[in-house]
């Protein structure tokens, strides 16, 4: 793994660990509704805290993983990097992802649109707009669009069922 890719993973991992810690802290400080006789297993902060712990765990994996020890030699060192050469942290992609998340969670969620529709559309847009087809020519855009069209609603159904049936949380 090139040094810039490792740096990108470290930056991304650190962001996820900090975000996960904030989520865990926020879920810990939520009202557990003990005064209403709500069992701890159905407290509102439990699913959120578990998600936060997951963010921390996977962020730590990104922080601590090591790439291959051998260096990759490029035949023409003076040439411009090709599509398979990592060119550092993709700040534009990170900004686009953050914008999609803020629009989804900050502006649209809970404002009238059904959760399942909004979440499915968010996942689909996220997968399509952050597609790297130009860097992976063996996977054409049509294939990625079809994959996003299958994955987004599937994940949405699983999320809705887990929250409503397992955690007993009504979604907007």
Per-residue model confidence as pLDDT tens digits over 100-157: 999 999 889 888 899 999 999 999 999 988 877 666 665 667 888 899 999 999 999 9
Task: Calculate the average pLDDT of the chain.
Answer: 81
- Which residue has tokens 């650190």? 14
Instruction: Please report which confidence band the pLDDT of residue 2 belongs to, taking 50, 70 and 90 as the band edges.
Output: low
Mean pLDDT calculated for residue range 28-32: 83
Alpha-carbon span 23 to 21, nearest angstrom: 5
pTM over 0.85: no
Task: Identify whether the C-beta of residue 144 lies closer than 8 Å to the C-beta of residue 128.
Answer: yes
Alpha-carbon span 7 to 28, nearest angstrom: 31
The token pair at 75 is 């035949």
pLDDT, position 70: 46
**Beta strand spans in the chain (E):** none
Alpha-carbon span 158 to 94, nearest angstrom: 26
Mean pLDDT calculated for residue range 10-27: 92
In this predicted model, which residue has the larger pLDDT, 162 or 56?
Answer: 56
- Reported as a single tens digit per residue, the pLDDT across 48-70 is 889 999 999 999 998 888 765 44
């Amino acid at each position: 793994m090139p040094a810039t890719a490792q740096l990108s993973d470290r930056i991304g991992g650190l962001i996820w660990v900090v975000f996960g810690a904030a989520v865990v802290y926020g879920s810990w400080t939520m009202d557990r509704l003990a005064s209403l006789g709500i069992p701890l297993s159905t407290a509102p902060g439990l699913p959120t805290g578990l998600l936060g712990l997951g963010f921390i765990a996977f962020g730590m994996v990104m922080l601590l993983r090591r790439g291959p020890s051998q260096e990759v030699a490029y035949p023409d060192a003076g040439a411009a990097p090709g599509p398979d050469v990592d060119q550092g942290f993709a700040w534009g992609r990170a900004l686009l992802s953050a914008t999609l998340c803020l629009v989804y969670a900050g502006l649209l969620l809970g404002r009238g649109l059904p959760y399942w529709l909004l979440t499915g559309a968010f996942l689909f847009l996220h997968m399509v707009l952050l597609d790297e087809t130009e860097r992976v020519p063996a996977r054409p855009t049509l294939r990625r669009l079809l994959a996003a069209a299958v994955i987004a609603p599937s994940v949405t159904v699983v999320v809705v069922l887990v929250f409503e049936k397992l955690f007993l949380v009504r979604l907007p």
